[in-house]
Chains A and B, each alone.
Chain A
């Protein structure tokens, strides 16, 4: 059952890759702000939509 070794090592490597990515990004302050990103995506930057909204108001 060498394949189990392969599976486990591959799974652990994948886990390690994700762990490294996580640690680096955590140190990079990617996860420091846990409030504003959720709100920020709701704000639109599309010009056509802004114009639409303006038109609606008028």
Chain B
């Protein structure tokens, strides 16, 4: 019985903990900023004034929404996962982390990734795929850092001094494997050049949508749920001093969750052009998810049985109780929203925003706060500076969640009902989409109050942590000692079969299973890239013209899909409001798909030809000039910037590689075609609205040589794209006696 003495590495835990707190504040402030813009769209002008037109949109809603979601998911929750797992893995496995070098490479690599995310998103460099907007070099960085994390975990397992792996470790391992696969599959994209940040998804249209939401849903599953459950199974017992209610149940919880979750993604695409049976598959598995989710939720709460008196006094346990309760609410609501009935009401509305915020503010946020307070006490070996302040944080946070979600639920139902309401004569009650937006603006204001309370709570936490850290003494290398694990022979014992030997080799086993996945994936994916897709093609659907393709990239750059869907669902009200419902065959050239997931503004799936080009021009310059009360951001820089067409040909060639049938002639004539289409749009703008012509002529006199002709500006490309969307099958409408 050899007793070994060693040291736990607390420095890496401290680094991740600081990063968590820092990015939490940044992410919350970004969220509050976009919440404010939803009822005060003049916010960018408030800061920039006249310079808005030169700002290139760095304060624009579309870009800040993805900054908010990515910062809270990958920077706040990501860092707290690493904080919690680096602390608990060492204690659970009774060893220091496998490699300090890998730990620090992981830390700095991840923070670098977040900084690069901020720089690129603010500059409009993104792929448009939600929670995966990173362009390809950052995707590669994420994969590399993630693999470093994995090697560090598996290496630690290899040198562990406890043979049994506690359930929390299973959750971290499952997270690691699943995220690696999902990240790689969803981000398969072809750069237009190796020295360009621009890339196109290798999937198109409905296929891209399916992969994206398979990923998107599992980002919720394997970034926001399973690793946090790992934290729950370690930190709630530690904080309460009680063993988990049922260890057996926790094992069942892990394995059932991991098998069921991966199938639920299609519930994000209900009533879309996705085949019906795939939608049904998503619904069935989503409803099945209630069982493991609630089993785990109850397991967490019942861990506190007989310790409820402690909950009264300990703010940390209060955070955990509300967090687990929110997990229960969100995982009940999710399956309900995956049913066709509720989905037809909730989808595209703020209901979904409220739903995810129960999960993020409640479950993720409160788990994180509890873990942070608990760890600070341990790492600095001291009590909290103030329990009263921690309690204040708890109550402000809880009130914040309530003030956030209830107005949004309410507003969402109000808006959904307004969308669907018909007059007795069979026309829409609210023909103007804007009326359904202005009706819910009061709810947006209340939500802002909720978010502010939550942020104030977080600031109180920062102060409390600062004072606690100042009081305490940090233990960088915490000494520990345990009895060494009796080694089993590395070689095969006589009479031992190959598989029995393999079974006790975690590293070889992981490598072999990853190889299996890699080979399997290659076999599966290569045919889909090579073989022409068998989506029903529609002969009238043609690839985008060069100018439209450039316009589409501007649509992606500005994040238009954050607020505008391009998917008319087969409902009476949507067909009356927008036009013919969307067909899968319409999207075969859409790399990436731009269906969106939220209708803060109206659907654009049939936008082409609906409004005059001059209206689009004025509307993009100042939406409130054409639509009083609109909450859409202004895009004046599009009116001044020259469209960059240097990469047009490279973009078209990349599209050819991805299966879009551009001909050699299309490429040879591309620049000519851009001029032809642009001048046609200019002609219609000038004839519809001579005042624009006057202004442009004046500008030409004023600027002289530096003047950029209107037809060369970005706005024209965007209008070209908007006027194209959904028009390909309009010509197909069959003439019958009724519509003749």
A35 CB contacts on chain B under 8 angstroms: 247
Residues of B within 8 A of A27 (CB): 503
Decide: A14 near B481, CB < 8 A? Known: A3-B210, A7-B214, A37-B167.
no
Asked whether any CB of chain A lies closer than 8 Å to the CB of B211, the reply is: yes
Cβ–Cβ < 8 Å partners of A3 in chain B: 203, 206-207, 210-211, 528, 533
Evaluate contact between A48 and B381: CB separation under 8 angstroms: yes
Assess the B8–A38 pair: CB atoms within 8 A: no
Bound complex: CA of A22 vs CA of B391, how far in Å?
41
Q: Contact: B478 with A48, CB < 8 Å?
A: yes
Given A7-B214, A17-B177, residue A42 in contact with residue B513 (CB < 8 A) = no
Distance, CA A40 to CA B503, complexed state (A): 24
Q: Which residues of A contact B206 (CB under 8 A)?
A: 1, 3
Query: Once the chains bind, are A1 and B241 in contact (CB under 8 Å)?
Result: no
Contact A21 B513 (CB under 8 A): yes
Contact with A along B239-264 (1 / 0, CB 8 A): 00111101110110001001100110
> B247 touches which one: A2, A18, A34 (CB < 8 A)?
A34
Which residues of chain A are near B177, meaning CB under 8 Å?
14, 17-18
Given A1-B275, A3-B207, A33 and B166 touching (CB < 8 A)?
no
Q: Please, how many residues of chain A have a CB less than 8 angstroms from a CB on the other chain?
A: 39
A10: which B residues are within 8 A, CB to CB? 181, 185, 520-521, 524
Q: Which chain A residues border B513 with CB–CB below 8 Å?
A: 17, 20-21
Could you say which residues of chain A place their CB within 8 Å of the CB of B516? 13, 17
Question: How distant is the Cα of A41 from the Cα of B248 in the complex, in angstroms?
Answer: 15
| Closest B residue to A51 using CB positions | B479
Q: Is B193 an interface residue when CB atoms closer than 8 A count as contact?
A: no
B residues in contact with A14, CB < 8 Å: 177-178, 181, 262, 517
Q: Which residues of B contact A9 (CB under 8 A)?
A: 520, 524
Are the CB atoms of A2 and B479 closer together than 8 Å?
A: no
Q: In the bound complex, do residue A22 and residue B255 qualify as a contact, i.e. CB atoms below 8 Å apart?
A: yes
CB-nearest residue of chain A to B203: A3
From B238, B275, B509, B527, A4 is in contact (CB under 8 Å) with B275
The answer to whether A47 and B528 touch across the interface, beta carbons within 8 angstroms, is: no
A39 within 8 A of B: yes
Q: Let me know if A7 and B211 touch, CB within 8 A.
A: yes
On whether the beta carbons of B528 and A2 are closer than 8 Å, the reply is yes
Q: Is A28 an interface residue, CB under 8 A from the partner?
A: yes
B480 at interface, CB cutoff 8 A = yes
Interface residues of B in 36-54 (CB under 8 A from A): none
Taking the complex as formed, is B431 at the interface, i.e. its CB lies under 8 A from any CB of chain A?
no
Interface of B is mostly: helix
**Is there contact, CB below 8 Å, between B525 and A6?**
yes
Distance to closest chain B CB from A37 (angstroms): 5
**Of residues 163 to 211 in B, which have CB atoms within 8 Å of A's CB atoms?**
164-167, 174, 177-178, 181, 185, 203, 206-207, 210-211
Complex alpha-carbon distance, A38 and B243, angstroms: 5
Q: Does A58 contact B (CB under 8 A)?
A: no
CB closest residue in chain B, given A31: B251
Interface presence of B150 (CB below 8 A): no
Q: A56 at the A/B interface (Cβ < 8 Å)?
A: no
- Is residue B543 contacting chain A, with contact meaning CB distance below 8 A? no
CB proximity of B50 to chain A, nearest CB, Å: 48
Q: Which residue of A lies closest to B502 (CB)?
A: A24
Partner of B524, one of A5, A19, A33: A5
- Is A7 within 8 A of B503, CB to CB? no
- Which residue of the partner chain, among A5, A18, A45, A46, contacts B255 with CB atoms under 8 Å? A18
Chain B residues whose C-beta falls within 8 Å of the C-beta of A30 in the assembled complex = 164-165
- CB closest residue in chain B, given A7: B214
CA distance A34 to B254 in the complex (A): 14
Of chain A, the residue at the smallest CB distance from B210 is: A3
**Does B482 sit within 8 A of A, measured CB to CB?**
yes
Report Cα–Cα, A45/B96, bound state, in Å.
13
Tell me whether A38 and B247 are in contact (CB under 8 A): yes
Q: How far is the CB of A25 from chain B (nearest CB, A)?
A: 8
A50 to B513, CA, bound (A): 41
A40 to B238, CA, bound (A): 11
Query: Smallest distance from the beta carbon of B371 to chain A beta carbons, Å?
Result: 15
Complex CA–CA separation, A10 to B262 (angstroms): 10
**A4/B166 in contact, CB under 8 A:** no
Known pairs A5-B528, A14-B177, A30-B165; A41 contacts B92 (CB<8 A): yes
Given A17-B517, A18-B174, A46-B479, decide whether A34 and B251 contact each other with a Cβ distance below 8 A.
yes
Q: Is the CB of A37 within 8 A of B166?
A: yes
Contact with A along B523-536 (1 / 0, CB 8 A): 01101100101110
* A2 and B533 contact, Cβ closer than 8 Å, known pairs A13-B520, A20-B513, A21-B513: yes
Kindly state the separation between the CA atoms of A13 and B259 in the bound complex, as whole angstroms: 11
Encode B453-465 as 1/0 by CB contact (under 8 A) with A: 0000000000000
Contact digits for B300-339, partner A, Cβ 8 Å, 1 yes 0 no: 0000000000000000000000000000000000000000
Instruction: Answer whether residue B602 sits at the interface, using C-beta atoms and an 8 A cutoff.
Output: no
Contact partners of B528 in chain A: CB under 8 A:
2-3, 5-6
Known: A1-B275, A10-B181, A48-B478. A37 touches B247 (CB 8 A): yes
Smallest Cβ distance from B248 to chain A, in angstroms? 4
- Residues of chain A within 8 A (CB-CB) of B92 are 41
| A38 vs B302: C-alpha distance when bound (angstroms) | 14
> Across the interface, do A45 and B203 meet the contact criterion of CB distance under 8 Å?
no
Q: How far is the CB of A30 from chain B (nearest CB, A)?
A: 6
Give residues of chain B (89-117) contacting chain A, Cβ–Cβ below 8 Å: 91-92, 94
Cβ-defined contact, A18 with B258, below 8 A: yes
- Interface residue? B278 (CB, 8 A): yes
Q: Which of A9, A19, A37 has the most CB of B within 10 A?
A: A37
* A1-B266 Cα distance, complex, nearest whole Å: 14
Closest chain-A Cβ to B249's Cβ sits at a distance in Å of 9
B237 at the interface (CB under 8 A from A): yes
Give 30 CB contacts A-B under 8 Å: A1-B275, A1-B533, A1-B535, A2-B527, A2-B533, A3-B210, A4-B275, A7-B210, A10-B520, A11-B262, A13-B516, A13-B520, A15-B259, A17-B513, A18-B177, A18-B255, A19-B259, A21-B509, A25-B165, A28-B503, A31-B251, A34-B251, A38-B243, A41-B91, A41-B237, A45-B481, A46-B91, A46-B478, A46-B479, A48-B475
Known contacts A1-B278, A48-B475; 13 further A-B pairs (Cβ under 8 A): A2-B531, A2-B534, A11-B262, A13-B516, A13-B521, A14-B177, A17-B516, A18-B177, A28-B503, A30-B165, A38-B237, A40-B164, A41-B238
Q: For the complex of A and B, list the 8 residue pairs with the smallest distance between their C-beta atoms, beginning with the closest.
A: A38-B243, A3-B207, A34-B248, A38-B247, A47-B479, A2-B528, A45-B480, A13-B520
